[in-house]
Amino acid sequence: MNVVSSKNIYEVLEMIRKKPELCLTSRTISSLQNFLNGYLITMPYDIEKKDGYPPFDEFKLWVLHQKKGFIGVGNPYSSFFLSESGGDEEKAFDQFFEYLELFLKGNFNR
């Protein structure tokens, strides 16, 4: 049974936020980054605007513009949120979802 294929990236992320153990090896930003890397390679169409959601690629750019002078390298989510959380993986995981909520509420209408 493929639970992920019928959902868009935002629905998948909401599922992960509520129960990270369903898709991740740990509740950390690095584990989430690894999941996103794999998910977006196998489901590239899911980054496009659909179902009233903004393109997921815009979230990455929005995140990187929240801190002046920050340049993401390699894995922008994990590097940005680890920087913001003082290296705390679980706190960075929580911050990812806080920023995602702000992005969706503040910048785009569904």
How does pLDDT run across 80-92, given as a tens digit for each residue? 899 889 999 999 9
Q: Where are the domains of the chain?
A: 24-107
Task: Give pLDDT, residue 45.
Answer: 65
Nearest to 84, CA basis, from 75, 74, 95? 95
pLDDT, tens digit, 9 for 90 and up, residues 92-110: 999 999 999 999 887 544 3
Nearest to 2, CA basis, from 31, 33, 23? 23
Give this prediction's pTM.
0.81
pLDDT, tens digit, 9 for 90 and up, residues 23-52: 999 999 999 999 998 888 887 666 555 667
